[in-house]
Amino acid sequence: MHLVLGGRQRWLVAGALIVLLAAAGAAAWRVQALRQLTLVPLGPPDAAVRPAAPPERKLSVHVAGAVQRPGVYELPAGSRVRDALLVAGGATEAGVPQTLNLASFVTDGDKLFVPTEADLKAALSGKAPPEAWAATRSAPPLAAGGLRVDLNRADRTELLRLPGMTSAMATGILKYRVRHGRFERPEELQQVPGIDPATYDRLQPHVYVA
């Protein structure tokens, strides 16, 4: 049995088919668009948000003695003694900054003391040192009988200032540092030729290891 459609009915059927075909086409286009979106890369791995860099570490250093502006200063990690003196305005005319190792690194909590010529003369004569100087690590500490020196930093001239030190002993100490790198304890002085226990006892109050 054949269904016979009138002209009006045929137009209605044709319209419905056109609407269905248009809807199907739109749906297919959306599916294809979604597939293409999933294939778009999100960017290289380094495009991700990076963590913030940690804040720069600061060191607090007390600069005292014969400097223009004594006080406590904050310096970036890795600063050297010369940097600390610069922020304090440098040494005064009476100051002798050469007693410090200007190229050495400072550490948090250091106290740097720049002595005067009068301080140095008093130290070499055996007089009591200024309290502010004796309390420091970076400036040469003092013993009651005179200047103390760091066995790992003292040069020949400084070593020869020590009581009982001879030219041969000073040369032996410098050679020891070349061969072994550094002194770990003052007692190692007894391994230097010419420094026997009695000589070491005389030197011990005047040397230290940093």
Give the per-residue pLDDT at 139: 47
Give the per-residue pLDDT at 172: 94
111 in the same domain as 64: yes
Percent of the chain clearing pLDDT 70 (strictly above): 61
Among 90, 114, 140, the domain-final residue is 140
Closest to 139 (Cα-Cα) out of 110, 118, 174:
110
Mean pLDDT of the chain: 76
Closest to 136 (Cα-Cα) out of 59, 203, 62:
62
Long-range contacts from 27-35, C-beta under 8 angstroms, 24+ separation: none
Q: Pick the more confident residue, 125 or 165.
A: 165
Judged on CB neighbours under 10 Å (0-12, 13-18, 19+), 150 is middle
pLDDT tens digit string along 79-108?
999 999 999 999 999 998 887 888 888 889
In this prediction the pTM is 0.45
209 in a structural domain: yes
Q: How many domains does the chain have?
A: 2
| pLDDT band, very low/low/confident/very high, at 157 (cuts 50, 70, 90) | confident
Q: Pick the more confident residue, 12 or 101.
A: 101
Give yes or no for residue 75 having a pLDDT over 70.
yes
Give the per-residue pLDDT at 171: 93
Give yes or no for residue 161 having a pLDDT over 50.
yes
pLDDT tens digit string along 169-201?
999 999 999 998 889 888 999 999 999 998 998
Domain extent, residue 181, equals 148-210
Answer yes or no: are the C-beta atoms of 61 and 73 closer than 8 Å: yes
Identity of the residue numbered 186? P
CA distance 29 to 55: 52
163 in the same domain as 99: no
